Amino acid sequence: MTRYVMVIDTLTCIGCGDCVIACKTENKVPAGLNRDWVVEETQGRYPNLSTEFRSERCNHCAHATCVTACPTGASHYWRDSNIVLVDPNLCTGCKACIAGCPYNARLIMHPQGYIDKCTFCVHRVERGLDPACVSTCPTHCMYFGVLDEPNSIVSRLLRTRKYKTLMPETGNDPNVYYLV
């Protein structure tokens, strides 16, 4: 299996939302919906504070509960990888995947009646490009690549920097990493 991962450096992320707009325009996401979003988390008391910004999206889990939960096979892995896609032709809009996703209902209903989500911009990845969010980020805080390749930028970053994933305890094996 090819393991595509996204690595996001929270130390340089400024929470500007460029990734959100870039995704929306690139993927023609309908008005009012988003496939990615930004979270701000502040801890401490004035003036001893820390604030972390995180650009979040589908984690393209290696053990994706949404794929298991899908009764029609619409939620599936792209080729032999961890990229989770939804086939609109097979999706009935039953929302089992939404219930099954531990990342708090992060899938959205497309007005056309199917579940829509981040695709890691697979149409770009196929052409050797980074996802739209990664290639537009003005702080260059986002990285994309194949974890199985030891010299990829993502492998090097995860070897040399401290990182976390969101809710690893679910066993879903998420593939969006946050450098901290």
Partner 1 sequence: MDRREFIKLAGTLAGGAVVGPALLNGCSTAPPPPGSGEVKTTPTICDICFWKCAALVHTEDGRPWKVTGHPEDLHSGGRLCTRGTGGLGAYLDRDRLKRPLLRVDKGGKQRFEPVSWDEALGFIAQRMQAIAEKHGPDRMALFSHGASGAHFRHLLRAYGCESFAEASFAQCRGPREVAFYLTFGETLGGQDRTDMAHSRCIVLLGYHLGENLHNAQVQTFAQAMRNGATIITVDPRFSVAASKSTHWLAIKPGTDLALLLTWINVIISEGLYDKSYVQQHTQGFEQLAAHVRTHTPEWAYLETGIDPNRIYTTAREMAKAAPATLVHPGRHVSWYGDDTQRERAIAILNALLGSWGCKGGFYNPETVALPKYPLPPYPKPASTWEAAHAGRYPMAYTGVTNALIEHSIGPDAHYRAWIVSGTNLPLSVPGIGKSLQQAADSLDLIVAVDIIPSEVTGYADVILPECTYLERYDDLRNAPERRPSLALRMPAFEPKYDSKPGWWICRELGLRLGLKKYFPWKDYTEVLDWQLKQVGSSLQEMQRLGVKNFPRQTPLYLVEGQGIEYPTLSGKIELYSTELKELGFDPLPRYTAPVRAPAGHLRLIYGRAPAHTFGRTSNNPMLFELMPENILWVHPLVAAEQGLKSGDYVRLKNQDGVTSLPIRVRVTERIRPDSVFMAHGFGHTSRNLRLTYGVGANDASLLTHIKTDPIMGATGMRSNFVTLGKMEA
CB of 176 to partner 1, least distance (A): 15
Helical H runs in 33-95?
65-69
33 versus 148: smaller Cβ distance to partner 1: 33
CB of 179 to partner 1, least distance (A): 11
Q: CA 69, CA 3: separation in Å to the nearest integer?
A: 21
CB of 65 to partner 1, least distance (A): 15
Neighbours of 91 (CB within 10 A): 22
Please check whether residue 21 is in contact with residue 103, taking contact to mean a CB–CB distance below 8 angstroms: no
5 versus 70: smaller Cβ distance to partner 1: 70
CA nearest 57: which of 24, 90, 99?
A: 24
109 versus 146: smaller Cβ distance to partner 1: 109
Footprint on this chain of partner 1 (rule: CB under 8 A):
11-12, 14-18, 20-22, 24-28, 31-34, 36-47, 49-51, 53, 72, 74, 87-93, 95, 98, 104-114, 122-124, 132, 135-141
CB of 37 to partner 1, least distance (A): 3
29 versus 147: smaller Cβ distance to partner 1: 29
| Pairing, β 142-146 against β 84-86 | unpaired
Please check whether residue 169 is in contact with residue 160, taking contact to mean a CB–CB distance below 8 angstroms: no
